[in-house]
Structure 1
Amino acid sequence: MALPKIQPYSMPVAADLPQNRVAWTPDPNRAVLLIHDMQQYFLNAFTLGDSPVNELLTHIRALREQCRKLGMPVVYTAQPDGQTPEERGLLLDFWGEGINDHPELKHVVPELAPEEGDIVLTKWRYSGFRKTNLAEIMQESGRDQLIVTGIYAHIGCLMTACEAFMQDIQPFFVADAVADFSLENHQMAITYAAQRCAVTLTTERVLTYLAPAQSQAEEGSSFNIEKIREQVAGLLNEAPESITDEEDLINDRGLDSIRIMSFVEQWRREGVEVTFVELAERPNLASWWQLIASRLRVPVPNLDYFGR
């Protein structure tokens, strides 16, 4: 019942990601970074020094450093050694003694070792919320978004994302900052997340959301046309620069009513009142930005460029 030996496989890239059903975006004032079970015991199942481990470590490290710079909470989960049969529960039937057999491997890998100020939770079940105070930590800090990274994608990472969703916490499943038993398991996890409980996106996309968010806050407005472009691109898994201001997002990009409605709900939560009909009548970035700007009563730049 030991962990399987995991063969190298290529880490998914942006082009491999499924379409998301919702348009949530990570916000450094709302999000917590979760580094899930990155213990040596679990990592040793992979071929170290090869894909997907190389990308996994690099991407989690980049996200951790950016989150720390922004003052965002960084939370680790780690399974303990020395578990009694009662503590291990049904995990014993599926996975045997686990770390009990290798207590020297219980520590988080050195490349990602927790630092002062990070939170380390002892984890007892697949979900990072079971038998921990993760939900309380998030509630007390006023956080309602969870950026999920770590291993294994289709087990603990996915179960944690599902439970976050069921507690009205928006999960972000970072497709190239998780890893799994196989590419098939990995792809299954990110597809399920995108279709049922989370937004699936790349490390690069998360960093683009987090990095400009601070400067936008300093400028006094969290909305501009580039943010809208990023949100649309994230939902369609397209490069932001490939989406022009005037193209028809319904007919040219296949944006459906469910995804348009997700923008309505997202922007309302951010204080912008728009309706589905308003967005569907003029489904292009230029029109949407003009509509949002009018509701926010902020100047709309480059009106001549938009042809208004």
Structure 2
Amino acid sequence: MAIPAIQPYQMPTASDMPTNKVSWVPDPNRAVFLIHDMQNYFVDAFTAGASPVIELSANIRKLKDQCVQLGIPVVYTAQPGSQNPEDRALLTDFWGPGLSSGPYEEKIVAELAPVDNDLVLTKWRYSAFKRTNLLEIMREQGRDQLIISGIYAHIGCLVTACEAFMEDIEAFFVADAVADFSRDKHKMALDYAAGRCAFTLMTDSLLDQLKHTPSAAQKPSEKAEKHIFTCESIRTQIAELLQESPDDIADNEDLLNRGLDSVRIMTLVEQWRREGAEVTFVELAERPTIEEWQKLLSIRIERVLPNADYL
């Protein structure tokens, strides 16, 4: 009934990503970053020094650093040790008594240890919302997006994403910043999240989107620097949407023939308008190649979008 020993497996890459049903865009002014159950007791089930735990910790670290820089609240969940039978209840039937009290098992892994401004919630069930005040905290701060990282993907992370959806909170399920008992279970969690309750994406894509979302405190004229659109950056965004390798997409290729449908184009329009480029769906659909889009975006970034949502 205890946590099983987890054999090494390859962390998912962009080519492994499922197709999202929604086109949500992460916003630093709306988001909370969740680091789920990264305690020694749970992390020790992985093979130390091997995938996926190496990438897991490194990607969560990168995300946390970016969130702190952007003023996104960081919230941890941590299960208590030596739980009373009444508190643990049915979890005992599936997983046994759980972790023990003490200075090691209960602690968050050292490389991700919380600091003074981080919030650590005591967690009693799979969902980070159950018997915690996470929902109340988000409501009080006017935040309705939850970026989910940690373990285990198909258990607590996925159930938290489902509950976020049921509370009208947009969940962002970071594919290479969660890990699981096996590659199959990891993939199952991603497929379910993308199809039912969340937007799945890779760490680097999330970092890029967060970095280029205007701050709530900025007005258009106060933006520190103009975003630069390159064929490479556009190709990376398109590859993420198509779940393909960027190396396989040519600059002059017709992206409509490759499968970039209207929903995905509108996702790009929304993101690029947030970055200050006044483009429309029709313009992109008429010239559906990376090289043509790069020329268009480079021109349009010179002008401030008149109806941009600077809150």
Fold conserved (TM > 0.5)? yes
Where does residue 157 of structure 1 map in the other structure?
A: 157
Residues matched between the structures, number:
297
Write the distance in 2 (CA, Å) between the matches of 1:93 and 1:260.
47
Q: What displacement does 1:37 show?
A: 0.1
Q: Confirm whether residue 235 of structure 1 aligns to residue 241 of structure 2.
A: yes
Unaligned runs of 5+ in 2: none
Write the distance in 1 (CA, Å) between the matches of 2:117 and 2:125.
24
Unaligned runs of 5+ in 1: 299-308
Q: What displacement does 1:36 show?
A: 0.2
Q: Deviations over 1:140-188 (max 9, x none)?
A: 1111111110000100011111111111111111111111001111111
Where does residue 254 of structure 1 map in the other structure?
A: 259
Please give the residue correspondences for 1:1-308 in structure 2 after superposition, counting only pairs within 5 Å. 1-100=1-100, 104-214=104-214, 218-219=222-223, 233-238=239-244, 248-251=254-257, 253-256=258-261, 259=264, 296-297=305-306
Write the distance in 1 (CA, Å) between the matches of 2:31 and 2:228.
21
Q: What displacement does 1:223 show?
A: 9.5
- Length-normalised TM-score, structure 2: 0.79
Q: Deviations over 1:99-151 (max 9, x none)?
A: 14777401111111100110111111111111111111111111111111000
SS of the aligned residue for 2:23 comes to coil
Q: Deviations over 1:231-262 (max 9, x none)?
A: 655432356797789865433x3234555677
- Length-normalised TM-score, structure 1: 0.80
SS of the aligned residue for 2:63 comes to helix
Q: Deviations over 1:10-33 (max 9, x none)?
A: 111111111222221211111111
Write the distance in 1 (CA, Å) between the matches of 2:306 and 2:249.
25
SS of the aligned residue for 2:212 comes to helix
Range 213-222 or range 184-193, more displaced: 213-222
Write the distance in 1 (CA, Å) between the matches of 2:247 and 2:305.
25
Range 151-160 or range 203-212, more displaced: 203-212
Write the distance in 2 (CA, Å) between the matches of 1:5 and 1:102.
21
Distance verdict in 2 for CA 1:191–1:292, change over 3 Å? farther
Contact in 1 for aligned 2:226/2:301 (Cα 8 Å): no
Distance verdict in 2 for CA 1:28–1:92, change over 3 Å? same
Give the aligned residue type for 1:255. Answer: L
Contact in 2 for aligned 1:153/1:180 (Cα 8 Å): yes
Give the aligned residue type for 1:219. Answer: K
Contact in 2 for aligned 1:23/1:232 (Cα 8 Å): no
Contact in 1 for aligned 2:14/2:240 (Cα 8 Å): no
Q: What displacement does 1:211 show?
A: 1.9
Distance verdict in 2 for CA 1:197–1:261, change over 3 Å? farther
Range 215-224 or range 194-203, more displaced: 215-224
Distance verdict in 2 for CA 1:147–1:241, change over 3 Å? farther
Distance verdict in 2 for CA 1:51–1:246, change over 3 Å? closer
RMSD after superposition:
3.7
Where does residue 301 of structure 1 map in the other structure?
A: none
Write the distance in 1 (CA, Å) between the matches of 2:2 and 2:155.
15
Q: What displacement does 1:212 show?
A: 2.5
